[in-house]
Structure 1
Amino acid sequence: MHLYGGTVAELARHVGDETFIAAAEQRFTKAFGEAPSTQEVQSWRRSWPALVKVLQAAGLDDLYVLLEYSLPATGERVDALLLGTGRDGNPCAVAIELKQWTHVQLSRLRPGMVRSGERVVQHPARQVGGYVHYLQQWVARDDYPLTARGTVILHDAPAGLVAELRAQASRGPAARHPVLGREDLTPYPTPEALAERLGCAELKPSARKDVERFLTIQHRPSPALLERAGEVIEGREAFTLIGDQDLARQEVLHAVEAARARGTKSIVAVTGGPGTGKTVIACRLLGDLCRQPDSNPRLLSPSGTLTRQLRRTVGDGFRGLITTFLNNLPAGITSDSVVLLDEAHRARTYPDHQHGAFPVTLGKLLGQAAVTVLFLDERQIVRPTEGLTLQQLEQHAQRCGFSFAHIDLVSQFRCNGSRAYQQWVDCLFRPAGAVPTWEGSDYDLALASDPEQLSHWVAGHSRSGVTARITAGFCWPWDSPPTPPLLPEVTIPWEGPSGPQTWARPWNSRADEEHFDHPDVPPRPFWATDTGGHEQVGCIYTAQGMEYAYNAVIMGGDLVRRGDQWIAHPEESHDSQLRGLPPQRYLQYALNTYRVLATRGTRGTRFYSTDAITQNYLQTLLPSHGGEGGSWE
């Protein structure tokens, strides 16, 4: 997908016309489902004419140019892509990143980042390097030997800024991609010299059939990319399987082989509670599939946090193979693809799945791939607009004539491997009924008497170099700006030894990227793992799918204990997706939410309720201090 395609000379005849911009806006809206931002349209007005001027000055009128060319497997777009034919007669694509920068802020501590105004973005040489990597790994292949290059054009940038950016990109792969400023974009000493600087010196115009081949070629991972991904996953200790996890993996591989042999579509459901290893199995299966001939696998998750964590572990070069699944089908999934959908219980099911048919987008995914393996835990459904059950999947398979298999994971590897704790938590977060007193000795579980005690426990473990985090129900406003400093919105009044006190902490950052001036505040995807996360409070959407050693859970007023049952108060919630629900429907989401929060800790958990009656109830079930290794540090 692209907004415009034509030769440089053809583009030059239209680019200054306002109707050209209006047509681009309409095409953008139709392609992406929303109108481009005012800032983006303004950048088109400024950068497209500047690009055309440079390309014509370099004598490149006959090259084919695509504006806003989409890279479907990543969701990113290249500002401009030049297509031509190299000296060897093979196709060549030059990705161009356009910037209107006249000054930016750089940091030696974060060489891959640049601050422009209020925005922090990738260094443009790294950015264009990502585009080149994509073209080489998702478009080029044996029968289409595409060469890819990248160039940064800063058409307004003075020489000093360009020199700083070049120095910042002088190490690593980004050094291969030239950064050109205002003084580099003149035809000095000759137009051929400018074409050389742009990376286009020897390029000849492409035949129309070659342009059509590029525009219609299917984007899919190259064998080399799959081989490297398989090797990386195989070598990561984090993806080592234990006991039942490996048995489940083998069962899935057997189901995949059987489905391929029969030539029928297949759904495999892998169910299991928190800590049973669903994500680890999914990653290992991706490695297995990458090693199979003619493979075209994907590992998807509705959780952007989990996707970012996995890509960090495996390497960001494998984005596209590991990607977030929300409202659109990932690109390149074909009738021979095996799709692994982790956290399938979080898949979006618009409209509300309790009142509508099988989710449309998910149904398309299941119908498009050869085999779809879904990892789910029905008791982790925490919103009306997400959630999928084993029964719904089996019924859908029957309606569509797909084969269906189910694998249930039993062994629990989180929470110190304590089945007793998992059973106790499952019992605690049932709607009603008696809950046994905790008498286990294989998991560090206790009740905090006040929020200060809770935070001291977390801080002590953090000082010892062990991950510890505080989470809470969504019972406080979350109005902080997306960038630090964060507001201390989670506030809890409590009675201390010297009188009334107030405990306050900020929610975790809502930003997806590290803030340039606040490296001590981890972005949302890395709140659970990065330094500084223990000083913020995580919510269900940040913590779900993650784990850390020690886990503090604050229960708010949305779920309180009265007698032998839980009572829901949706009016206490600040979650716009849930607040308007009737109490009985809200109850199950609240129980699921706190069950998820209570199962993040691998070594120990502390509970605290802001409701006095609920706190007293928990006191009858839990010790007020930990045993060995559970002191309040």
Structure 2
Amino acid sequence: MHLYGGTVAELARHIDDEAFIAAAERRFTEAFGHAPGPQEVQSWRRSWPALVKVLQAAGLGELYVLLEYCLPATGERVDALLLGTDASGRLCVVAIELKQWTHVQLSPLRPGMVRTGERVVQHPARQVGGYVHYLQQWVARDDYPLTVRGTVVLHDAPAHLVADLRAQAIRGPAATHPVLGRDDLTAHPTPEALAERLGCAGLKPCSRADVERFLTIRHRPSPALLERAGEVISGRDAFTLVGDQDLARQEILHAVEAARARGIKSIVAVTGGPGTGKTVIACRLLGDLCRQPDGNPRLLSPSGTLTRQLRRTVGDSFRGLITTFLNNVPAGITHDSVVLLDEAHRARTYPDHQHSAFPATLGKLLGQAAVTVVFLDERQTVRPTEGLTLQQLRQHAQHRGFSFAHIDLTSQFRCNGSRAYQQWIDQLFEPAGTVPTWQGTDYDLALAANPEQLDHWVTEHSRSGVTARITAGFCWPWDSPPTPPLLPEVTITWEGPNGPRTWARPWNSRTDTQHADHPDVPARPYWATDTGGHEQVGCIYTAQGMEYAYNAVIIGEDLVRRGDQWVAQPEESHDSPLRDLSPQRYLQYALNTYRVLATRGTRGTRLYSTDAITQNYLQTLIHPQDL
């Protein structure tokens, strides 16, 4: 997908026409389902004419140009691609990253990042290097040789800024991609010299057939990329399997091979509660599948937080293999693909789970791949726009004529391996009924008397070098600005021995990137793992899929205990998609939410309820925390 395609000379005839920008806006909206932001449109107005002027000055008017070219497997967009043929007659693609920068802040401590305004972004040479790597690994292949180059065009940047950016990119792959500023973008001494600076030396116009083939070629990972990914994943300690996890992995691989041998589309459902190893098994399976001949695997998750954590673990070079699954099926999934769908219970079911026979996007994914391995825990569905059951999968397979297999994971590897704790938590968050007193000795569970106790417990563990986090139900406003300092919105007042006391902490950051001036405030995807996360409160959308050693959970007043049953109070929620639900419907989402939050800790958990009656009830079940 792209917003414009044509020769540079053709583009030059339209680029100053406001109707051209309006047409680009319409095409963007049609392609992505939402309108481009005003800042993006303004960047088009400033950068596209500047690029056209430079390309014409370099004598490149007959080369083919694509504006806002989408890399389907990653969802990223290249500002501009130039297509031509090199001296050997091979198609050559030049990825161009455009910036309007006139000043940025650089730090030797973070050479791959720069700060512009309030944002911290990738160094542009690294950014364009990622595009080059993608085109080399997902498009070029033995039967389609392709030369790929990359260039950064900073058309407003003064010489000193360009020199600083070049110095920062002097090492590593980014050094191979030229960074050009305002003074570099003139035709002196010759147009040929400018073309060489742009990485376009010797390029000739390509045929329309070459363009058409490039636009229609199927994007899929190269064998070399898959082999490296398999080696990296196999070598990561984070993905080491223990006991029954490895047995489950082998059973799943056997089911996948059996499905392939039958030659019909197949679903393998893998069910298991929190801590049974669904994610680590999925990652190891991805490594196994990457090392098989003619593989075309993907690891998908509806959780952007989990996706980013996994990419950081295995390396960003493999980001097309591990991606977020929301409203569209990722590109490149074909009849030979094996797809691993982790956290499938969070798959989108728009408009509403109650009104749809089967989630449309998920159904398209299942119909496109050869085998889909679906990792599922029905009791982790926390919104009405999510949700999937084992029975739905089975019925869908029968209806579509797919083969179906089910593997249930039972061994517990989180919560210190305590099945007693997992079973007790499952009982605690049933809608009604008697809950036994906690008698377990293999997991550190206690009740905190107040939030200050929770805070002290988490802080002490963090100081000793282990991860500890506080989470809470979504019962407080979340209006902090996107950049720190964050507002202390989670505020709890209780009656202390000397009168009322108040404790307050901010929610975790709302943004996906860390602010340069606040290194103690992790970006949202890394709240569970990075330094400083213990000083903010995480919610279900930040914590789900994550784990940490010590886990403090604040049960808000959206879920209270009355007699032998839980009572939902959706009016106490600040989660707008949920607060308008009826109490009966809200109840299961609230129970699922707190069950998930209570199972994040690998070594210990502390519970605390802001509702006095519920806190008294918990005191009958759990020993109080030692002071």
TM-score relative to the length of structure 1: 0.98
State the 1:119 CA deviation.
3.0
Which residue in the other structure is 2:543 paired with?
543
Identity %: 87
Question: Using the alignment, how far apart are the partners of 1:516 and 1:589 within structure 2?
Answer: 36
Map of 1:383-532 to 2, 5 A cutoff?
Answer: 383-532=383-532
Which residue in the other structure is 1:85 paired with?
85
Question: Using the alignment, how far apart are the partners of 1:97 and 1:64 within structure 2?
Answer: 16
Question: Using the alignment, how far apart are the partners of 1:488 and 1:605 within structure 2?
Answer: 23
**2:603 partner SS:** strand
Question: Using the alignment, how far apart are the partners of 1:537 and 1:313 within structure 2?
Answer: 24
Which deviates more, 14-23 or 575-584?
Answer: 14-23
Aligned length: 627
CA contact (8 A) 2:118 2:515 kept: no
Question: Using the alignment, how far apart are the partners of 1:22 and 1:343 within structure 2?
Answer: 39
1:317 aligns with 2:317: yes
Question: Using the alignment, how far apart are the partners of 1:617 and 1:24 within structure 2?
Answer: 60
Residue deviations 1:149-208, cap 9 Å, x none? 110001111111111111121222111111100100011221111111111112122122
Which residue in the other structure is 1:226 paired with?
226
State the 1:564 CA deviation.
1.1
**1:11 partner SS:** helix
Which residue in the other structure is 1:247 paired with?
247
CA contact (8 A) 1:458 1:470 kept: yes
Question: Using the alignment, how far apart are the partners of 1:486 and 1:356 within structure 2?
Answer: 39
Question: Using the alignment, how far apart are the partners of 2:615 and 2:164 within structure 1?
Answer: 57
**1:350 partner SS:** coil
State the 1:106 CA deviation.
2.0
Which residue in the other structure is 2:74 paired with?
74
**1:94 partner SS:** strand
Which residue in the other structure is 1:613 paired with?
613
Question: Using the alignment, how far apart are the partners of 1:33 and 1:490 within structure 2?
Answer: 34
Which residue in the other structure is 2:352 paired with?
352
In the alignment, residue 457 of structure 1 is paired with which amino acid? W
Residue deviations 1:358-377, cap 9 Å, x none? 11111101111111110010
Which residue in the other structure is 1:113 paired with?
113
**2:354 partner SS:** coil
In the alignment, residue 560 of structure 2 is paired with which amino acid? V
Question: Using the alignment, how far apart are the partners of 2:354 and 2:392 within structure 1?
Answer: 11
Map of 1:32-111 to 2, 5 A cutoff?
Answer: 32-111=32-111
CA contact (8 A) 2:578 2:586 kept: yes
Which deviates more, 271-280 or 192-201?
Answer: 192-201
TM-score relative to the length of structure 2: 0.99
CA contact (8 A) 1:86 1:204 kept: yes
In the alignment, residue 592 of structure 1 is paired with which amino acid? N
State the 1:496 CA deviation.
2.1
Which residue in the other structure is 2:579 paired with?
579
Residue deviations 1:546-585, cap 9 Å, x none? 0000000001101111111111111111111110111111
In the alignment, residue 320 of structure 2 is paired with which amino acid? G
1:25 aligns with 2:29: no
Task: From the superposition, tell whether residues 567 and 363 of structure 1 become closer, same or farther in structure 2 (CA, over 3 Å).
Answer: same
Which deviates more, 540-549 or 580-589?
Answer: 580-589
State the 1:274 CA deviation.
0.3
State the 1:513 CA deviation.
0.7
**1:577 partner SS:** helix
Question: Using the alignment, how far apart are the partners of 2:522 and 2:88 within structure 1?
Answer: 47
Residue deviations 1:378-411, cap 9 Å, x none? 0101111101000011011111111100000000
Map of 1:108-257 to 2, 5 A cutoff?
Answer: 108-257=108-257
In the alignment, residue 149 of structure 1 is paired with which amino acid? R
Question: Using the alignment, how far apart are the partners of 2:378 and 2:499 within structure 1?
Answer: 44
In the alignment, residue 326 of structure 2 is paired with which amino acid? L
State the 1:354 CA deviation.
1.9
CA contact (8 A) 2:47 2:98 kept: yes
CA contact (8 A) 1:462 1:534 kept: yes
CA contact (8 A) 2:4 2:67 kept: yes
Question: Using the alignment, how far apart are the partners of 1:250 and 1:119 within structure 2?
Answer: 45
**2:394 partner SS:** helix
Task: Please give the root-mean-square deviation of Cα atoms over the aligned residues, in Å.
Answer: 1.0
**2:624 partner SS:** coil
Residue deviations 1:439-479, cap 9 Å, x none? 11111110111110110000000000000000001110111
**2:446 partner SS:** strand
Question: Using the alignment, how far apart are the partners of 1:273 and 1:16 within structure 2?
Answer: 58
State the 1:624 CA deviation.
1.0
Question: Using the alignment, how far apart are the partners of 2:242 and 2:600 within structure 1?
Answer: 19
**2:578 partner SS:** coil
**2:349 partner SS:** coil
In the alignment, residue 254 of structure 1 is paired with which amino acid? H
Query: Which consecutive unaligned segments of at least 5 residues does structure 2 have?
Result: none
State the 1:115 CA deviation.
2.2
Which deviates more, 603-612 or 108-117?
Answer: 108-117
Which residue in the other structure is 1:567 paired with?
567
Runs of 4+ in 1 over 4 A off after TM superposition: none
**1:14 partner SS:** coil
**1:567 partner SS:** strand
**2:340 partner SS:** strand
Which deviates more, 242-251 or 403-412?
Answer: 242-251
**2:129 partner SS:** helix
State the 1:86 CA deviation.
1.6
State the 1:355 CA deviation.
2.6
Residue deviations 1:311-359, cap 9 Å, x none? 0001111011000000111011101111100000000101211232211
CA contact (8 A) 2:119 2:515 kept: no
Which residue in the other structure is 1:629 paired with?
none
In the alignment, residue 448 of structure 1 is paired with which amino acid? A
CA contact (8 A) 1:351 1:359 kept: no
State the 1:3 CA deviation.
1.1
Residue deviations 1:265-291, cap 9 Å, x none? 001100000000000110011011101
